[in-house]
A and B are shown apart, each in its own frame.
Chain A
């Protein structure tokens, strides 16, 4: 089975590009930040520098691990779903479910290993730049030398491989299991996340404006709320669709298509909600924090600076990963609909109407995702701003929010429309004839 796995990777490198990219970026981030741990562990590093380095390493390293897991899981789920026919063929040729599982996991591990090895060079470079940045801002002493050691290398490779194997295992199990009954567990988890998130957000009011940990409860609360919304995403989408009646053939088709495909769109909606909530909440809270420090006339302490750089780094990482996940799943989902587009064209839809339908679908999904993400973000921002600065909303204006939303819209609509346009290039009759 492993030989088969290797062969299938070699024959279709393109299909694994998204997985490779997420494994590579994940490994870069994990190694880059864990090399700070190596740097901190050297002899003769002072306590403040050590603190800065190891805090960044553990926080971002942890986030990185989680993101690698989610990103690889998302790309592999898409990959496995696209290959249902191939896997079915293998099953008919006498492959046991365990063998198929081993093949998919084998592929994922092979791809992840390549990604991790490729990541070593860029991670060393990135780690050095990171240390320079910390030294320039005075968070780390000038005397500290950069070190890329055993911990960075081992943890980077181990995390990437384990995340890939685990994600592949889940993806193939989801694909080979006939009907899922995880509906109830999912709902329960969603309500738990919403409940704990709500409590966490409210507990912000128990802190005073000067507390160092003030940002933690609203930030975690917003994240948990967005996770809750994300888990309920298909149901939220259906609820919106039931109240939505668009006129025009494209809109009419879009609403009906989405109603049928709501469950398939869960991943895309989830990415959109998490992205909007985390980016908006973190960026605004950081802005409020910076303003508050400035207003008090103090200079930022090393701790405050650490918090800021961590916040910005985490948002940056999330943005990159969510973009990969969104582009990958939307590209796959839209390419998969080639036949459906052909059928619409044969029923009398002009290419413009097909694109109109895809655009309307993309817009509805984006609006729903961004809206619920915004609700979660506000739930974190408002309590934090109230406690920290006595106003309800941050004074930063809509600039950050507009940028976040614009990015979400651009990625979602851009990917679906460009992919759909390409799918329309083949004559309708041919598109319909492709692998029924």
Chain B
């Protein structure tokens, strides 16, 4: 099922579809207070695409990301990353599944304060027991504009710089899919723009697949397509989005759902 241990799936070559969800459902709580966070979501994202997932608070955006990224297990349905189905029960199994397939960029960066920029960047490789290519790590950090900050600690960097370290960390492991959860949520507009451009570059230059959860129409406009989510269901898709159209659509998302679209 899982390829032995932490080996990457490079040998088989990437699948055409980077991410596939089939009728994925997830309910939180029990009986009386149960909340259906995801209600039979089916979607497929091609390799080398940049997709934004949008929706109002409580629409199930974060649950979708966590289920798709193997951080949480759906109650029912199938999740397939890079052609391999996510099964397995224990956290250790899920972790081994994520290695080499999935990279993360979080709103709160989640860099380790005790490690330097360079050490943070190679940490996923270390944990996966892979050979660490320091030259490559330096290259990627230079690409994100931090070539001169290798020995700094996250505490000495600005928010934008920290987020760029997080992106470098996600890129170095060469994952099939990068999940970004509100990556610009804590940044000023200029740093946000830098981060979004880097994510775009990851897709266009490096051929990665990026899925970004956001509530910011401007951030979403950097993506190739936007998926709208409301009450745990998909509520539409917009290709080649621009910020105004996304904001407009978002404002009327509730109407669509009640109208039964």
Contact = CB atoms under 8 A, between A and B. Distances in A.
Given A249-B129, A256-B119, A428-B71, A349 B110 contact: no
B112 A346 contact: no
Contacts of B66: 429
A340 B72 CA distance: 19
B92 A346 contact: no
B227 interface: no
Interface string B80-96: 00000000000110011
B114 A261 contact: yes
B106 A256 contact: no
Interface in A251-279: 252-253, 256-257, 259-261
A256 B114 CA distance: 7
B4 interface: no
A14 B256 CA distance: 51
A399 interface: no
A348 to B, nearest CB: 4
A353 interface: yes
A256 B112 CA distance: 11
Best-buried of A249, A259, A348, A353 by chain B (most CB within 10 Å) = A348
A347 B71 CA distance: 11
Best-buried of A261, A350, A352, A353 by chain B (most CB within 10 Å) = A350
B113 interface: yes
A253 B120 CA distance: 10
A351 interface: yes
By secondary structure, the A interface counts as helix
A121 interface: no
Best-buried of B66, B108, B110, B169 by chain A (most CB within 10 Å) = B110
Given A252-B126, A353-B127, A427-B71, A347 B110 contact: yes
B124 A348 contact: yes
A348 B95 contact: yes
A52 B99 CA distance: 69
B112 A343 contact: yes
A347 B114 contact: no
A252 B127 CA distance: 10
Interface string B108-132: 1011111100010001101111000
Interface in A298-347: 340, 342-347
Contacts of B222: none
Contact of B169 (A249, A347, A428): A347
A436 interface: yes
A348 B130 CA distance: 12
Contact of A348 (B98, B114, B119): B98
A20 B106 CA distance: 41
Given A256-B119, A427-B71, A432-B106, A343 B111 contact: yes
B104 A346 contact: yes
Given A350-B92, A428-B71, A249 B126 contact: yes
Q: Could you say which interface size class chain A belongs to?
A: 20 to 34
Contacts of B91: 345, 350-351, 428
Contacts of B98: 348
A349 B114 contact: no
Given A261-B114, A343-B112, A349 B95 contact: yes
A350 B104 contact: no
Contacts of B173: 348
Contact of B72 (A252, A342, A347, A427): A427
Contacts of A261: 114
B99 A348 contact: yes
Nearest to B111: A343
B123 A348 contact: yes
A427 B94 CA distance: 12
Given A249-B127, A351-B92, A427-B72, A436 B112 contact: no
A436 B114 contact: no
Given A348-B173, A436-B108, 19 more contacts: A249-B127, A253-B126, A259-B114, A261-B114, A340-B114, A343-B110, A346-B71, A347-B123, A347-B169, A348-B123, A348-B124, A348-B128, A350-B92, A350-B96, A351-B91, A428-B71, A429-B72, A432-B108, A432-B110
Interface of B: 66, 71-72, 91-92, 95-96, 98-99, 104, 106, 108, 110-115, 119, 123-124, 126-129, 169, 173
9 contacts: A340-B114, A344-B123, A346-B110, A348-B128, A349-B127, A350-B91, A350-B127, A428-B91, A432-B106
Nearest 5 Cβ contacts at the A-B interface: A260-B114, A350-B92, A348-B124, A348-B127, A343-B110
